[in-house]
């Protein structure tokens, strides 16, 4: 056995398919969150918490439901291809892992000292990596809990996993809160470092393609 | 239990003009593709406008309803006729059940059980109307199931009455027809798919927790299906029709999804 390394030239930090999926996901997420707020108001989970009319997609619950159950297709289909892309091209492994504990502590310490270094767009710090992993898991969780709420009899096994119908609603609500929390940080940081926003539109700097290690029998 | 008079969308004061939404379904099915594409284009722009109090443009409305019609097809595929909804112990039953309708509980119109008849029409061989005594003589079934409202709340209820599927077979209904329509004393037309009508947990309920249904909960006879959202269970039924022609129900005309299976 011998390991052969093949040089493969350069590519954009964010290849075109990834950029398309990112922006489709942005639309899907905004549709799902704001229409979800419209549905939530008819049977609140946290007493006293209502979402203002101006924040909701759909003029009343029926319309918000139409949006939510249409937006779910965009979210699911686009999300499926995003996961497939990340796994097949090795992007997840390359960009998001490993996440070192020491690295994590250092980044948090730097941030607290207001040292937010972002000179190199091509490297994610540990906190960034962690946030991306968490939001991807939250997205998957939203689809699973969403299915449980949409079809609690057909997927009754899924419902019991969340401790019943109201449990599934609660986890679905908390998943939304995690994603909204991520969005606030994500959008704020991209506005603080506008080059990152531009990179997600135009592709960003060229980087060497990841070296492929292929094992060949000799 | 919360107040019976809680504000709910089922008492919504402002709903879209029914005339505007009425009977557009066949048209929507035809323009499905066109609407989807056009709607897709406006979707991004509309997202930005979500905060403003703008009326949803007709093309977007049509696209959303086209997806809702598509979701009907998907839900029919997801529906497993042999899958039973979970059942619960009698100790969990809520008494009395939760009242919810498009009208207030004070406006419930009482039905006279003596003169009440269940009329039958459409693809049914034996169309003779049924009296309450005749219905009471039919073999019954009891089920303790979860009621899930489209709004998000739920409760466990204990319902009994003859299974709808048995009744349809007894009167010689064409069980290959697509729809079973219901007409009610409270002007709440509703329709369900035949597969759900034949599901073993779909009852023509006459009793709740062992006692005759009270007027607000659908006396003398109401639909109770374990596999659909609450609003798909019409109360105080006066006529049943078996048909291949789609008829939107009270809430479907106002924008809710037709199949609404759970």
Inter-chain CB proximity A169 and B148 less than 8 Å = no
Reference B164, options B185, B195, B186; nearest CA is B195
Contacts with A61 from chain B: Cβ below 8 Å: 9, 150-151
Collect all residues from A whose CB is shorter than 8 A from any CB in B. 27, 30-31, 34, 39-40, 42-43, 53-63, 65-67, 69-70, 73, 150-154, 156, 165-166, 169
Q: Which residues of A57-82 are buried (b: 16+ CB within 10 A; e: fewer)?
A: bbbbbbbbbbbbbbbbebbbebbeeb
Distance CA B66, CA B74 (A): 13
Partner-chain residue, chosen from B44, B83, B257, that has the shortest CB–CB distance to A153: B83
DSSP class of residue B107 equals: G
Measured CA to CA in angstroms, residue A122 lies from A9, A12, A137, A202 at distances of: 16, 10, 23, 14
Q: How far is A43 from chain B (nearest CA, A)?
A: 6
Closest-approach residue (CA) in chain B for A57:
B50
How many interface pairs between A and B have CB atoms less than 8 angstroms apart?
A: 101
3-class secondary-structure state, position A110: helix
Fold of B90-254: Sulfite Oxidase; Chain A, domain 2 (3.90.420)
Distance CA B139, CA B169 (A): 13
Residue of A40, A47, A70 to mutate, interface with B, max B Cβ within 10 Å: A70
Q: Tens digits of per-residue pLDDT, A13-71?
A: 899 999 999 999 999 999 999 999 999 988 999 888 999 999 999 999 999 999 999 99
What structural domains does chain A harbor? 2-216 (1.20.950.20)
Beta-strand relationship, B237-243 and B119-122 = parallel
Q: Tens digits of per-residue pLDDT, A46-60?
A: 888 999 999 999 999
Q: Tens digits of per-residue pLDDT, A169-209?
A: 999 999 999 999 999 999 998 998 898 999 999 998 888 87
Map out the domains of chain B as residue ranges: 17-78, 90-254
Interface predicted TM-score of the whole assembly (ipTM), two decimals:
0.85
**Average pLDDT rounded to a whole number, residues B150-170:** 97
Cα dihedral B255, B219, B98, B101 in deg (nearest 10): 30
């Amino acid at each position: 056995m011998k390991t052969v390394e093949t040089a493969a030239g350069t590519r954009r930090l964010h290849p075109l398919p990834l950029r398309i999926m990112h922006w489709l996901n942005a639309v899907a997420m905004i549709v799902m969150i704001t229409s979800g707020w419209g549905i939530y108001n008819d049977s609140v989970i946290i007493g006293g918490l209502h979402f203002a009319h101006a924040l909701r997609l759909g003029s009343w619950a029926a319309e918000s439901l139409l949006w939510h159950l249409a937006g779910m297709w965009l979210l699911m289909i686009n999300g499926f291809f995003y996961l497939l892309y990340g796994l097949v091209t090795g992007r997840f492994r390359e960009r998001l892992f490993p996440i070192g504990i020491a690295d994590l502590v250092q980044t948090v310490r730097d941030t607290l000292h207001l040292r937010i270094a972002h000179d190199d767009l091509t490297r994610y710090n540990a906190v960034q990596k962690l946030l991306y992993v968490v939001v991807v898991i939250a997205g998957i969780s939203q689809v699973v809990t969403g299915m449980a709420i949409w079809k609690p009899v057909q997927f009754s096994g899924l419902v019991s996993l969340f401790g019943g119908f109201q449990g599934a609603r609660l986890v679905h609500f908390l998943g939304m809160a995690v994603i909204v929390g991520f969005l606030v940080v994500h959008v704020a940081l991209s506005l603080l470092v506008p080059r990152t926003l531009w990179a997600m539109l135009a592709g960003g700097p060229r980087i060497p393609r990841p070296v492929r290690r292929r094992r060949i029998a000799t | 239990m919360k107040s019976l008079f809680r504000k709910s969308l089922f008492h919504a004061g402002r709903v879209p003009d029914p005339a505007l939404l009425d009977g557009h379904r066949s048209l929507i099915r035809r323009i499905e593709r066109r609407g989807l594409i056009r709607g897709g284009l406006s979707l991004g722009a509309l997202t930005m406008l979500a905060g403003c109090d703008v009326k949803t443009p007709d093309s977007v409305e049509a696209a959303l309803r086209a997806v809702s019609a598509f979701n009907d097809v998907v839900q029919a595929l997801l529906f497993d006729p042999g899958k039973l909804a979970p059942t619960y112990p009698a100790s969990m039953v809520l008494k009395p059940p939760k009242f919810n309708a498009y009208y207030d509980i004070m406006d419930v119109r009482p039905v006279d059980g003596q003169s009440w008849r269940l009329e039958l029409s459409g693809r049914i061989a034996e169309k003779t109307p049924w009296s309450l005594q005749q219905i009471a003589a039919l073999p019954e079934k009891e089920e303790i199931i979860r009621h899930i409202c489209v709004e998000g709340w739920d409760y466990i209820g204990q319902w009994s009455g003859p299974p709808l599927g048995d009744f349809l077979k007894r009167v010689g209904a064409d069980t290959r027809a697509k729809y079973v329509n219901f007409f009610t004393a409270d002007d709440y037309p509703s329709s369900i798919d035949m597969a759900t009508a034949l599901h073993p947990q779909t009852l023509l309920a006459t009793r709740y927790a062992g006692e005759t249904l009270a007027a607000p909960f659908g006396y003398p006879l109401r639909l109770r299906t374990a596999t659909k959202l609450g609003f798909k269970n019409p109360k105080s039924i006066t006529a049943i029709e078996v048909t291949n022609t789609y008829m939107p129900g009270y809430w479907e005309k106002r924008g809710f999804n037709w199949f609404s299976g759970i």
